[in-house]
Structure formats: C-alpha cells, structure tokens
C-alpha cells in the first residue's frame, strides 16, 4: 500500500491531508449531530410545563440555554416571553441563525474537499503524463519501465482523488439533510412554545375589551 502511495508522487501529499481532514470532520459531525444531543428527549415538553406553571426564573432559563441547540432556541423565546409574538419570533430567528451556523460547522470545508480532491488527482495525473513524455523524449519508447512509472503515477493520483472525493461528497450531502431535518423538528417545538406563551396573553386583552 505504501509503495502505491509513493508511486503517486508529490500530489499524493495534499490528497492524503484532505482525506485526514475529511475523516476528522465526518467523525466530529456524527458525534455533534446526534439527535439526543441536538434535541434532547422530553426537553420540549418540560419547557412547556415550565411555561404553563410559570416556573421561568433566570436560573432555569440559563440552564436551559446550555443544554443543547434546542434549549438555546427555547431559552431565547423565554427571555422575551412577555413581549408580543412578533418580537418573540424575531428573537428566535436571530438565535436560529446562530444555531444553524453551529450545526453546519465544517460542512463547507467538507464540500470544498469533495470539490478539490478530484482536481488534485487530475493535477497529479497531468504531471505523471508529463513525466512519461519526458522519459520517452530522453530514452525513446524502448524503456517501458520509465513509461510505466509515469502512467502509474497518473493512475494512482486519479484513483486517490476520487476515493477521497466520493465519500466526502456523500457525507456532505448527508449532513446537510440531517441538519435540515433537525432544524424542522426544532421549529415545531419552538412554535409550540411560542403558542403557549402568546395565545393566553393575547386572549386576556380581548376579554378585557369585551
């Protein structure tokens, strides 16, 4: 295996670096984007219970903010719970952009790796072909070993670039979809909390006006 990598020439160095970075990102995202880490079970119901019983002291809210991305969103709604619905919605959207950024962390890097590694493989292929042509110019076609070295370098670089790019692209798309799914689930729980905080308070002025 080592001999094959060495045969790929200098272009294998950035390809191997990209493969190591891609593997690290994939493992980190698998750990970070676990459902129970992003959306802890029963957290939404627990916060709804706090809202119904008005157990919304600052200590509860601060602790909630530290639990998870969902907790951060719910806490942002609770902080402005006595404001109109539009204000609550705006605060949640502002916090949601930050949460979304955290959930998508490193995914742009993974997508970039999926894009550039085939190009690095192609670059290595070009240099391998140039090496082969120079060998032909110097020794003619009578030395197949030198020609084989250039062809081998070209093929190894191409194959290595694709072997890194294909999994990187697959997991990039997979994590994008997973983030979208998690965000939709969090939105549902935030909407439920917003309804709990605003529907009752909006009904009181209506009854008073009547």
Q: Give tens-digit pLDDT for 134-191.
A: 766 666 655 566 556 566 667 788 888 999 999 999 999 999 999 999 999 999 999 8
pLDDT, position 138: 67
Residue 204 domain-assigned (yes or no) = no
Alpha carbon distance 192, 201 (integer Å): 15
> Using an 8 Å Cβ cutoff, are 9 and 126 in contact?
no
- State the residue range of the domain holding 132: 2-199
Q: Is the pTM of this model over 0.85?
A: no
For the chain, what is the domain count? 1
Other CB atoms within a 10 A radius of the CB of residue 184 amount to 9
Give the separation between CA 13 and CA 5, rounded to whole angstroms.
9
209 inside domain: no
Tens of pLDDT, residues 27-39: 999 999 999 999 9
**What's the whole-number mean pLDDT along residues 9-36?**
91
How far, CA to CA in Å, does 130 sit from each of 87, 120, 144, 174? 64, 15, 15, 38
Transcribe 130-172 into DSSP letters. Answer: HHHHHHHHHHGGG-HHHHHHHHHHHHHHHHHHHHHHHHHHHHH
Map residue 187 onto helix, strand or coil: helix
- Residues 47-63, mean pLDDT to the nearest whole number: 78
Instruction: Say if 179 falls within a structural domain.
Output: yes
Question: CB-based burial of residue 159 (10 Å sphere; 0-12 exposed, 13-18 middle, 19+ buried)?
Answer: middle
What is the rounded distance in angstroms from the CA atom of residue 155 to the CA atom of residue 46?
A: 58
Most confident of 69-73, 82-86, 153-157, 174-178: 174-178
**Who contacts 203 (Cβ-Cβ below 8 Å, separation ≥6)?**
none
Lowest model confidence (mean pLDDT) among 14-18, 109-113, 131-135 = 131-135
Does a structural domain hold residue 205? no
Whether the Cβ atoms of residue 88 and residue 81 lie closer than 8 Å to each other = yes
Q: Is position 206 within any domain?
A: no
User: In whole numbers, what is the pLDDT of the chain averaged over residues?
Assistant: 83
């Amino acid at each position: 295996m080592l001999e094959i990598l060495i045969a790929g020439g200098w272009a294998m160095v950035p390809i191997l670096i990209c493969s190591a970075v891609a593997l690290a990102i994939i493992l980190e995202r698998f750990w970070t984007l676990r459902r129970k880490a992003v959306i802890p079970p029963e957290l939404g119901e627990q916060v709804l219970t706090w809202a119904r019983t008005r157990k919304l002291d600052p200590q509860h809210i601060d602790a909630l903010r530290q639990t998870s991305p969902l907790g951060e969103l719910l806490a942002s709604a609770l902080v402005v719970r006595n404001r109109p619905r539009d204000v609550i919605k705006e605060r949640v959207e502002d916090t949601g952009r930050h949460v979304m950024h955290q959930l998508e962390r490193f995914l742009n890097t993974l997508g970039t790796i999926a894009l550039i590694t085939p190009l690095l493989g192609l670059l290595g292929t070009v240099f391998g072909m140039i090496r082969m042509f120079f060998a032909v110019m110097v020794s003619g076609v009578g030395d197949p070993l030198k020609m084989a070295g250039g062809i081998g370098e070209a093929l190894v670089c191409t194959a290595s670039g694709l072997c890194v790019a294909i999994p990187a692209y697959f997991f990039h798309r997979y994590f994008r979809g997973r983030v979208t799914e998690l965000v939709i689930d969090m939105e549902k729980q935030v909407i439920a909390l917003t309804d709990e905080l605003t529907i009752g308070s909006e009904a009181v002025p209506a009854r008073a006006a009547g």
